[in-house]
Amino acid sequence: MDDGTTGRARKAPPAPLPEFDEETYLRLNPDVLMAVAEGKFRSAREHYEQYGRAEGRLAMAPRDLPRDKIIITARPGSTGEAPHTPLGAVDTIKLSSAGGLFVTGWVNDSLDRLDSVELYVAGWSVAFSAASLARVRRPDADQVARLATPHALGFWGFIYAARRLPTGKCNAVMRLKSGAELILIVNIESQDDLDLRSTVLNHLASAQYPGPAYFNSVSSIGRAIGSQLVDFSQMLTRKAVSTPYIERFHHGGRVPKASVIVCLYGKPDYLALQQALFSRQAGAEDYEFIYVCNSQALAERLLQEAAIAQLAYGLDITLILLGANAGFAAANNLGAAHARAKRLVFMNPDVFPKEPDFARRHLAQVEDLPALRTDIFGAALYYSDGSLMHAGMYFEADTMPGFLLEQKDDETILRVEHYGKGAPPEDAALLRPRPVPAVTGAFISMSSAWFEELEGFSQDYIFGHYEDADLCLRSLEAGRPAWLADLRLYHLEGKGSARQMVHEGAAAVNRWLFTHSWVEPVKAALLGPAPVHPALAEVRP
């Protein structure tokens, strides 16, 4: 009993508790039973007086506990569970020289959800909110946590500081909603900026997402990672295009009528193949070719290929070599900046004329048709198996219910489809020249003035994919839809470059970015193969 010798101010005496039953109170409140057993309280009554009454706990049991019915013995939320230190680990923290920060780990938050992952380093700190982190399956963590059913215990995040940060040891705190914490000391690894981008994009593409995996990956990017990655990649792109090596293999005195810009990546063979096949075309000498290479490793080989091509085929070639992968958009923008002609033709390395008079017919159409039809247009593209590959592009939207993604809102992702993919080669309806929602970047013919007006391809897109649709939609919004022209080429889709896991990651970011940028206008008037957009009136049958 308190004899009043502690010097503390006495509390006001509690109201009398005539019917307080110590034994019953402990039975009703096992947490109090434990606390008393641990010596935290001297008695059940003391707990009741200090906390229990305020928490609305019953002081005594009803005489007859109703059968088959739960009764409430305290106000909801008032009986705080003792927080438990969670199981978890931080696997990786990588920091690049420009301030890209990548973190991966796992935490068993199957019951008590993760609130944040905080990193404290000498000189800086960062707190990743749980919402900003992507959650992924980690079967190894499931085993450690002995979960009966698998949960997405893994997490990863990325943030771009845009400044150099010191590395060293880091206090990593995984904080749960209950306030429970797991504190770990982790070494931060330093990584080159380009390598870090690859690491993150590889991780993005290869991680195991729960439920509808692709949707979950894109959805998790959307919360924060996507925009951070785009900023980070933009910085790398600007660096890559800032110091190009340019060599011209020209034949003096020619004034090209069209500049063909080809972005090369991973495969050097296609320069010679394209030159050999294009140079056979009547009127080929009216074209110059600008090859922009995103693969440093190909530089020497391409210099040799271009020199041989100049000797054997005689077309003007400009070779622009980059020290790092600037991506499709920036490479093409750079190529356009070095073009001599007012007509730009963006062409993939695996695109080849299907018609012997393609070169002349293309320029004839540019000269003869109204500007509205030629400011930006694509062509019918064919697979090598003879079937149609592309006769323009349109948009579809895929929606997944939010409950499958453990989020409140349903998620929509835009999809780009090609008119006539795999169709028989001669389908008049598909081949008819007409305005289309978009054309593929594998072949886009554009006036340089309109290209400049639109400020070129958006360099927000990482490596490649969706920048072509983005350009066409910007053109459409500015009043000039892309046209499908009466021209035919082969497109050996995907064969002209080397595709790796890192590109899958980039494609996911780009799809998120494209959706984020265009979902509203597309939903409004551009959905499906026969969209209602007034500028595309001819699309509708």
Partner 1 sequence: MKILIIAMYHPELVRGGSQQMAHELFQGLKAVPGVEPVLLCSADYNSPAMFKSGARITGFDQRENEFLFLSYDYDYNWHKLPLPLQAEAFAVFLKRISPDVVHFHHFMAYGIDYLTLTRKILPDARIVFTAHEFMAICAADGHMVRKGDGSLCEQASQVRCHQCQPHFGPEEYFLREQWMKAHLHVVDLFTVPSRFMIEFYTRWGLDAEKFLHVPNGLQMPKFSAQAAAPARRNRFGFFGQMVDVKGLHVLLEAVNLLRAEGFDDFAVEINGENIQFATPARRKEIEDFLAEEAERPLAERRVSFNGGYPHGQLAARMARVDWVVVPSTWWEIFCLVISEAWHFGRPVIASNQGGPAERITDSKDGLLFELGDARALAETMRRAATEVGLWEKLAGGITPPEPREAMVQGYLAAYEAAAARQKLAAE
Please give the residue ranges that form the binding site for partner 1 (CB under 8 A). 269, 272-273, 276-277, 280, 301, 304-305, 307-308, 311-314, 350, 352, 383-385, 490, 492, 495
Quick one: 151 or 503, whose CB is closer to partner 1? 503
Quick one: 301 or 342, whose CB is closer to partner 1? 301
CA–CA distance, 331 with 144 (Å, rounded to integer): 47
Number of other residues whose CB lies within 10 A of the CB of residue 43: 13
Output the six-digit token pair for 512.
Answer: 């998120």
Asked whether the beta carbons of 193 and 236 are under 8 A apart, the reply is yes
Smallest distance, partner 1 to C-beta of residue 348, A: 12
Number of other residues whose CB lies within 10 A of the CB of residue 60: 13
Smallest distance, partner 1 to C-beta of residue 273, A: 6
Smallest distance, partner 1 to C-beta of residue 249, A: 10
Output the six-digit token pair for 78.
Answer: 């008032």
Quick one: 285 or 398, whose CB is closer to partner 1? 285
| Half-sphere exposure for 311 (CA within 13 Å, toward CB) | 6
Give the contacts of 190 (CB within 8 A, at least 6 positions apart).
Answer: 94, 95, 96, 97, 167
Asked whether the beta carbons of 130 and 116 are under 8 A apart, the reply is yes
Quick one: 268 or 464, whose CB is closer to partner 1? 268
Three-state secondary structure of 251-290: CCCCCCCEEEEEEEECCCHHHHHHHHHHCCCCCHHHEEEE
Asked whether the beta carbons of 92 and 104 are under 8 A apart, the reply is yes
Quick one: 161 or 277, whose CB is closer to partner 1? 277
Looking up tokens 């011209």 gives 248
Asked whether the beta carbons of 328 and 444 are under 8 A apart, the reply is no
Smallest distance, partner 1 to C-beta of residue 389, A: 11
Quick one: 353 or 505, whose CB is closer to partner 1? 353
Smallest distance, partner 1 to C-beta of residue 251, A: 12
Gyration radius (Cα) of the chain, Å: 32
Quick one: 113 or 251, whose CB is closer to partner 1? 251
Asked whether the beta carbons of 492 and 384 are under 8 A apart, the reply is yes
Quick one: 312 or 364, whose CB is closer to partner 1? 312
Quick one: 119 or 492, whose CB is closer to partner 1? 492
Smallest distance, partner 1 to C-beta of residue 137, A: 33
Between the alpha carbon of residue 209 and those of residues 150, 197, 288, the distances in Å are 12, 20, 46
Give φ, ψ of 133 to 5 degrees. Answer: -95, 145
Smallest distance, partner 1 to C-beta of residue 334, A: 25
Output the six-digit token pair for 127.
Answer: 């707190």
Smallest distance, partner 1 to C-beta of residue 332, A: 23
Smallest distance, partner 1 to C-beta of residue 276, A: 5
Quick one: 56 or 386, whose CB is closer to partner 1? 386
Three-state secondary structure of 383-409: CCCCCEEECCEEEEEEEECHHHHCCCC
Quick one: 180 or 273, whose CB is closer to partner 1? 273
Looking up tokens 């079937």 gives 387
Smallest distance, partner 1 to C-beta of residue 504, A: 19
Number of other residues whose CB lies within 10 A of the CB of residue 267: 16
Smallest distance, partner 1 to C-beta of residue 392, A: 22
Smallest distance, partner 1 to C-beta of residue 302, A: 11
Indicate the DSSP class of residue 421: T
| Farthest-apart Cα atoms in the chain, separation | 111
Quick one: 309 or 485, whose CB is closer to partner 1? 309
CA–CA distance, 52 with 36 (Å, rounded to integer): 13
Give φ, ψ of 367 to 5 degrees. Answer: -80, -35
Quick one: 118 or 305, whose CB is closer to partner 1? 305
Asked whether the beta carbons of 21 and 32 are under 8 A apart, the reply is no
Between the alpha carbon of residue 445 and those of residues 250, 388, 457, the distances in Å are 22, 19, 13
Smallest distance, partner 1 to C-beta of residue 306, A: 9
